[in-house]
Copies of this chain bind each other. A is one copy, B any other.
Amino acid sequence: MSKEKPSLPKGTRDFSPEVVGKRHYIFDIIKKTFQKFGFQPLETPTMENLSVLTGKYGDEGDQLIFKVLNSGDYLAKTTPADYEQGSKHLLRKISEKALRYDLTVPFARFVVMNRNEITFPFKRYQIQPVWRADRPQRGRYREFYQCDADVVGTKSLLCEAEIVLMIDEVLTNLGIIDFTIKINNRKVLTGIAEAIGNKGRESEICVAVDKLDKIGRKEVLNELSAKGFEEDNLKSLDLILFDFETDKDLPNDLSLSSNLHSFSNHFSNSIDGLQGINELKEVITYIEKLNKSALSRLTFDPTLARGLSYYTGCIFEVKVNNVNMGSISGGGRYDNLTGMFGLPDVSGVGISFGVDRIYDVMEELNLFPESAQISTQVLIINFDASSEKHALPILQQLRNVNIATELYPDQVKLAKQMTYADQKKIPYVLLIGSEEIASGQLKLKNMRTGEQESLRLEDIMERLTR
């Protein structure tokens, strides 16, 4: 057995009890909202066949997939000839599986494999880790959780409206109140390409504009220029995208409609552009009838592009205001996700929450409630053999009424036992010494206030289950 100092792989983390408690507090709120909107849980395996994952995330993504070696001594079965044919050939012989890179492609695979058993529209949520061999850096990990909800098998824009409402409910329930949900539509970007005289080149525009936050307006235009977009067209693009003034004097729901209305003026010659605007208007109409207040957090942002190539309709992104953090949620509509596995024409729309970023935001804003801590409620002090003997049935009775209770397992110094309660953030300590055994009145110490009271067990049980 090796006795070297153990360590963690780069970009991975242990989650201590305190952190697990907080993370599951977030998961639970997300889950409850998804369920309230009719989404049901799905779980897919950690490993997928390489053929399922490869070619779905672009060349850059493919490089970041963690590949798993075939089991058994497959390397021994390779021949020098295999080796001479190069590493790609060799790789195919020794690795057929990989860790999932996101939850969307496994979801599409699941839908295609189970198309005959699934009732459409199929609303699923999925909360599982994914793995990417990215260079680890602050806030970017090689293993991280995604929380996705998707509905496939309907084109109804009610689904887009419900996604906005789910985002609004999740963040509000987490206590995050100052945030912006940006919305756009890929067809608006198609319309813009047409409007500036570059019909059909919206993907290139998307890829470049997606980098706006990172590289800035000027570099976006430079990148497009390098790709052969003409100066005049880029001037138009600059005007359309970046001189877009929101009507700040109007209440947000009116300004949203008025913004969309004025933006549609660019699309006198673009059917796609107009349709994009009309879809956005319909989404807003749904939201108005469901929960108008959510509109105050919604903004039309024509520079929202989202890099992923499979989006075809509305796209979303969420930022917390006044916090230095990238988007904490994003998603959109795709018309042909399952097409990659041979099942065309299944339109869907989905949203994904980034739990690591939400966690960091909540820490920064100090939003975790005490109840996010999973811990024991009462520690019974173990003074000596007689005290322990007396404590055992009390321990059992407290647990019988679902009070999480521990008896300190060893008869060690009181100070050590109190430190244990303190560090584990146990709110109550129960002391049963010879005096308490004689009187039947137990001493309950509130660890936060330091207050001590002598109480009968029944009263303690009543108080702690209230």
Contact = CB atoms under 8 A, between A and B. Distances in A.
Contacts of A399: 36-37
A99 B98 CA distance: 11
Interface of A is mostly: mixed
Interface string A391-411: 011011001001111110110
A421 to B, nearest CB: 9
A265 interface: no
A361 B159 CA distance: 39
A49 B15 contact: no
A133 to B, nearest CB: 3
Given A2-B54, A6-B49, 12 more contacts: A2-B51, A6-B109, A6-B341, A8-B45, A14-B45, A17-B124, A38-B406, A64-B71, A119-B419, A151-B409, A155-B410, A286-B392
B17 A289 contact: no
A274 to B, nearest CB: 21
A36 B376 CA distance: 7
Interface of A: 1-9, 12-17, 20-21, 24, 35-38, 40-49, 51-52, 54-56, 63-64, 66-69, 71-73, 75-76, 78, 80, 83, 86-87, 90-91, 95-97, 99, 109-110, 112-114, 117, 119, 121, 123-124, 129, 131, 133, 142-143, 151, 154-156, 158-159, 286, 289-291, 340-342, 374-376, 389, 392-393, 395-396, 399, 402-407, 409-410, 419-420, 423-424
Nearest to A109: B6
A1 to B, nearest CB: 5
Nearest to A49: B9
Contacts of A35: 374, 404
Contact of A47 (B7, B55, B143): B143
